[in-house]
Chains A and B, each alone.
Chain A
Amino acid sequence: MKRVLVLYSLERENVGQSKVNEQLHELFGRDTTFHIEIYSEYLDLNRFPVLENTVTLNVYLQKKYSQLKPDLVITVLPPALDSLEVGRNQFFKEIPIIAACIPRERAESLEYSPLHNKIQGIIYADNAYEIAQSALRLRPGTKHIAFIAGTSVLDISFKVPILKEIKRATEGIELIDLSGLSIGETLSRVRSLPPNTIVFMTSIFRDKEGVAFNAPDALRLVSNASNAPVFGFVESHVGKGIVGGRLASLEWQVAKIVELTHRILSGESPAAIPIVDEQGYHMVYDWVELKRWGIPDSRLPKGSIIINREMTIFDRYKKYLFAALVFLAAQTFLIGYLIRLNWRQKQTSLQLIEYEERYKELLRVDRTSRLGELTASLAHELNQPLTAILSTAQAALRFMESGNNDPALHREILQNIVQDDKRAADIIRSLRSMVKKEELIKENVNVVEALSEVVAITHGELIKHSVQIETLLDAGLPPVLANKGQIQQVLLNMILNALDSLDQIAPDRRTIILQTEKSDGFIRVAVIDNGKGIPPENIERVFEPFFTTKDTGLGMGLSVCKTIITSFGGRIWVENIPAGGATISFELPVAGRAR
């Protein structure tokens, strides 16, 4: 385990120092060779210069660290180094020292230091010449140079070498030296600098009147007041009011400190190590200052970093804008898609309505055409009760004329008339219910009742064809959920088809059996004939639209039947009977039973 004592010249809050401290902790923390323990002391010599030239500080530090003697001392900025030298303390003479962040002259004079055999320095802020020249390139036509620095030891230690370099770089241009003034004077002077001036400022830690500053704060005041661009020399001043340039990097300083620490802790003598020349720079510019002084980006050297770039609304919110645009586009697309979907749905439902209308019409046409076949026999069926009524009424007249007023007889007569009239009315009603325009309402349908009505209107037709009809109907069947008119249409089709298939059978053998039964939640209705049956090659096709073996008819009947029965969750099928004839059956679920 090695102990490293870091002596910071300024107070803890100084931005540059904080950065150094932070990075040292990070880099030493990562170190696994020496397990370095860091002790930091903020000497605050700018605000308390009284300590700088006394031995008090050294005594204090010696006392403090006597038990935990550091293996290495690092000083940051010249004042801490100065105070160590002033103390000439035996304690510190034995400890190797790295003097970081010092100007070139100070580094070069270390060999005359009382601590010289144990010390090595790292030069800082050494490229003033380059910065000045580059500033001139950024402001072509510059006629005046203003130079600002404070009055503290630290101010002066950097002012001297830097001013020398500036003078060298700006030869022939008038220099306005504003260093060593009070802050008030400095500000008033920079407000009224002549045109085509550029300002160089190292630092003001203290002004002429002894007021101490945090250097970056002073820089900010000056820059704000100045009517000319201000240039500085260290990276930590970017963003505090300087335009920028190729500035000394604290990061590099720290890296070098760490490197020297390793070498010294490994046993190398500090005196044997040459002075570390500054090499670490960052090409950094402040976008706000560039804009303020109208310096175009194109004048900046290649590889410049621009900080503080105030992004336009677009730049700042580019991601959000892009996201919003994408979102809007997606939303628009979605809305469009939905509108289109809605439109198509409307079209589809219109089409559906149209199809439904056509379907209803087809059903109606099929039914009326089937009923049309019955016209003659229906006329007969109506004729029967009408004839009966006429004869009965005439009988009544005759009885009356003959003076027969037997009330029982007249009651019988009138009852007969009523019955016959009802019979005629029933036929008309059945007929009308089957011909009326389709309302596709689902209702509870009593299959036997529906079938009986169909039998009533086909009765005459069956007699006409000498067909014997037998019914095996179960009157107690539960209802099915369907449409009565449509079920009757199916039954009518089934019965008339059976009738047709009996054509070639001897009249005295023609029989149709109607059968209803319930099995396993279904009502089954079968129409059985003893006709010629269905040729096996057609048995699969009889439910196809337009399939017909008759000379007349559209061939829609059974196809319509299938459509109807399927729509109510049932099925319809045909079978040949081996003994001759065919059975056509359908089954529908009992109402209340979901399939």
Chain B
Amino acid sequence: MPDKDVVIYVIDDDVSVRKSLSLLLRSAGYGVETFVSAEEFLSKAVLDRIGCIILDVKMRGMSGLDMQEQLGRSDQYMPIIFITGHGDIPMSVQAVKKGAIDFLTKPFDDTQLLSLIESAVGKCRQEKAVLDEVRDFRRRLKTLTPREYEVFLHVISGVLNKQIAGRLDIKEHTVKVHRGRVMQKLGAASIAELVRLAEKAKILP
């Protein structure tokens, strides 16, 4: 049974589709929010929960693809499942290439949709966790002193303590102390984890 906190965003300009998907998803235990257009979604939706988007490819006003692009440029993440009634296969393929979970052609079976949603929600959960980790990591980074940050940048570059001491013109021991503080402040158990977190946070030495 899916988590009640999981929310599915249904964006379609067709009221029948919105209503029916809403019912189907509720019957499967999901929370549902519906929007008549991409514009409405972008202006109103708060993407702070786990879930996914079910998006009509072709709509009045902004199309589904355009919305995917805009969403991708933001720091929000929410996986998208496209639905299409027009059989716009090339458009759908393009959407998948740009990171959509998959696309479904109307009419679709409930199990098909629900299993896609399940994997999308899984991915969301995963991505959300990564994002949370990165966000936490960034928050922690800000607690480092300038000297500690310099040491951190050298450490993730794989520079040895002795060399660091040489480059920063400090004692090797001092480097060790800074290094221990960095590891503690950033909550990393090992150098390997530190490197991974730095990579996720897109921090390049």
Q: Spell out A's residues near B (CB within 8 Å).
A: 376, 380, 383-392, 394-399, 402, 404, 412-413, 416, 419-420, 423, 463-464, 466, 468, 508
Q: B193 an interface residue at 8 Å Cβ cutoff?
A: no
A466 surroundings in chain B (CB, below 8 A): 58, 60, 63
**Bound CA–CA A333/B108 (angstroms):** 80
Contact in complex: B16, A385 (CB < 8 Å): yes
Sample of 19 A–B contacts (CB below 8 Å): A380-B86, A383-B106, A384-B16, A386-B106, A386-B107, A387-B16, A388-B17, A391-B17, A391-B21, A391-B107, A392-B20, A394-B109, A395-B26, A396-B27, A398-B28, A402-B29, A423-B16, A463-B13, A463-B59
Query: Which of B23, B25, B85 meets A387, CB within 8 Å?
Result: B85
A390 surroundings in chain B (CB, below 8 A): 20, 107-110
**Bound CA–CA A384/B16 (angstroms):** 7
Interface string of B14-43 (1 = CB under 8 A from A): 101101110111111100000000000000
Contact in complex: B86, A464 (CB < 8 Å): yes
Q: Determine the residue in chain B with the shortest Cβ distance to A467.
A: B60
Contact in complex: A398, B24 (CB < 8 Å): yes
Q: Determine the residue in chain A with the shortest Cβ distance to B84.
A: A380
| Min C-beta distance of B8 to chain A, whole Å | 13
Contact in complex: B110, A395 (CB < 8 Å): yes
Contact in complex: A416, B19 (CB < 8 Å): yes
| Min C-beta distance of A76 to chain B, whole Å | 129
Q: Which of B122-170 contact A (CB under 8 A)?
A: none
Contact in complex: A384, B27 (CB < 8 Å): no
Contact in complex: A419, B20 (CB < 8 Å): no
| Min C-beta distance of A353 to chain B, whole Å | 44
* Known contacts A380-B86, A398-B110, A468-B60; is-contact A387 B19 (Cβ 8 Å): no
**Bound CA–CA A150/B40 (angstroms):** 147
| Min C-beta distance of A271 to chain B, whole Å | 143
**Bound CA–CA A464/B59 (angstroms):** 8
Contact in complex: B85, A392 (CB < 8 Å): no
* Known contacts A398-B24, A398-B27; is-contact A387 B17 (Cβ 8 Å): yes
**Bound CA–CA A385/B60 (angstroms):** 18
Query: Which of A402, A413, A464 meets B58, CB within 8 Å?
Result: A464
**Bound CA–CA A310/B19 (angstroms):** 113
A395 surroundings in chain B (CB, below 8 A): 20, 23-27, 110
A468 surroundings in chain B (CB, below 8 A): 60
Q: Spell out B's residues near A (CB within 8 Å).
A: 13-14, 16-17, 19-21, 23-29, 58-61, 63, 85-86, 106-110, 113
Query: Which of A387, A412, A416, A508 meets B108, CB within 8 Å?
Result: A387
Contact in complex: B16, A394 (CB < 8 Å): no
Contact in complex: B24, A394 (CB < 8 Å): yes
| Min C-beta distance of B21 to chain A, whole Å | 6
Max count, chain B CB within 10 A of own CB: residue among A376, A399, A463, A468: A463
Q: Determine the residue in chain A with the shortest Cβ distance to B110.
A: A394
Contact in complex: B16, A419 (CB < 8 Å): yes
Query: Which of A402, A416, A419 meets B23, CB within 8 Å?
Result: A416
**Bound CA–CA A380/B60 (angstroms):** 15
Query: Which of A384, A397, A412, A508 meets B14, CB within 8 Å?
Result: A384
Contact in complex: A387, B106 (CB < 8 Å): yes
**Bound CA–CA A397/B85 (angstroms):** 24
**Bound CA–CA A380/B105 (angstroms):** 11
Contact in complex: B16, A388 (CB < 8 Å): yes
| Min C-beta distance of A374 to chain B, whole Å | 13
Contact in complex: A420, B24 (CB < 8 Å): no
Contact in complex: B58, A463 (CB < 8 Å): yes
| Min C-beta distance of A290 to chain B, whole Å | 115
Q: Determine the residue in chain B with the shortest Cβ distance to A419.
A: B16
Max count, chain A CB within 10 A of own CB: residue among B19, B25, B27, B113: B27
Contact in complex: B20, A420 (CB < 8 Å): yes
A376 surroundings in chain B (CB, below 8 A): 86
| Min C-beta distance of B28 to chain A, whole Å | 6
| Min C-beta distance of A390 to chain B, whole Å | 5
A420 surroundings in chain B (CB, below 8 A): 16, 20
Query: Which of A386, A391, A402 meets B24, CB within 8 Å?
Result: A391
| Min C-beta distance of B166 to chain A, whole Å | 60
**Bound CA–CA A235/B107 (angstroms):** 126
B85 surroundings in chain A (CB, below 8 A): 380, 383-384, 387
**Bound CA–CA A17/B59 (angstroms):** 127
Contact in complex: B86, A384 (CB < 8 Å): no
**Bound CA–CA A397/B27 (angstroms):** 8
Q: Determine the residue in chain B with the shortest Cβ distance to A377.
A: B86
Max count, chain B CB within 10 A of own CB: residue among A388, A397, A413: A388
**Bound CA–CA A392/B58 (angstroms):** 22
Q: Determine the residue in chain A with the shortest Cβ distance to B17.
A: A388
B27 surroundings in chain A (CB, below 8 A): 394-399, 402, 404
Q: Determine the residue in chain A with the shortest Cβ distance to B18.
A: A388
**Bound CA–CA A429/B28 (angstroms):** 35
A397 surroundings in chain B (CB, below 8 A): 27
* Known contacts A391-B21, A391-B24, A395-B26; is-contact A384 B58 (Cβ 8 Å): no
| Min C-beta distance of B13 to chain A, whole Å | 8
Q: Determine the residue in chain B with the shortest Cβ distance to A384.
A: B14
A398 surroundings in chain B (CB, below 8 A): 24, 27-28, 110
**Bound CA–CA A584/B11 (angstroms):** 35
**Bound CA–CA A383/B86 (angstroms):** 9
**Bound CA–CA A387/B13 (angstroms):** 14
| Min C-beta distance of B113 to chain A, whole Å | 8
A463 surroundings in chain B (CB, below 8 A): 13, 58-60
Contact in complex: B20, A416 (CB < 8 Å): yes
Contact in complex: A388, B19 (CB < 8 Å): yes
**Bound CA–CA A387/B17 (angstroms):** 7
**Bound CA–CA A162/B49 (angstroms):** 163
| Min C-beta distance of B137 to chain A, whole Å | 40
| Min C-beta distance of B3 to chain A, whole Å | 16
**Bound CA–CA A389/B17 (angstroms):** 9
A396 surroundings in chain B (CB, below 8 A): 23, 27
| Min C-beta distance of A167 to chain B, whole Å | 140
**6 nearest A-B pairs in the assembled complex, by CB-CB distance:** A398-B27, A388-B16, A391-B20, A388-B20, A395-B23, A394-B110
Q: Determine the residue in chain B with the shortest Cβ distance to A385.
A: B16
